[in-house]
Amino acid sequence: MAANDQPDSDRHGNRRRPGELEAEIITALVGAGRALTPAEVRERLDWSPPLSYSTVVTTLTRLFDKDAVTRQRDGRAYRYAAVTDAPALVAGRMGRLLRAEADHASVLRRFVSALDEQDEQLLRRLLLEAGD
């Protein structure tokens, strides 16, 4: 099996980053401006080879379980609509990961130390703005 045939590979045959497919699906739903079936979502994704229908359905179901999308029955399938956008989805994932650890200070310290200078400055600015 070729690298790009792996179910956990991205559109270029590289391993997908965690949450990448979820973010792209949310972006497709937001961009559509209406509820989409899994087949319609699949058509809007730019993956080569195309993702399987079951991969899209599984990812949409996970997003539904995370309250990131809503769904309504449409014949035998569901139509899905975004509740949030991709940045909010990532922020929620970060929050869940942090809450899963007892020592928040150590986790945040390591997170900040891993940031590049630009992101660290951005974080500092956002924290100052949030304090206002």
DSSP letters, 41-77, are HHHHS--SSPPPHHHHHHHHHHHHHTTSEEEEEETTE
Q: 44 Cβ partners below 8 Å, 6+ apart?
A: 28, 31, 32, 36
Q: Is the pLDDT of residue 56 over 60?
A: yes
Query: Contact, 37 vs 77, CB < 8 A?
Result: yes
Average pLDDT over residues 47-71: 93
CA-wise closest residue to 84 among 93, 74, 75, 72: 93
In CATH, the number for domain 3-82 is 1.10.10.10
Average pLDDT over residues 118-127: 95
Q: Is the pLDDT of residue 35 over 60?
A: yes
Has this prediction a pTM greater than 0.75? no
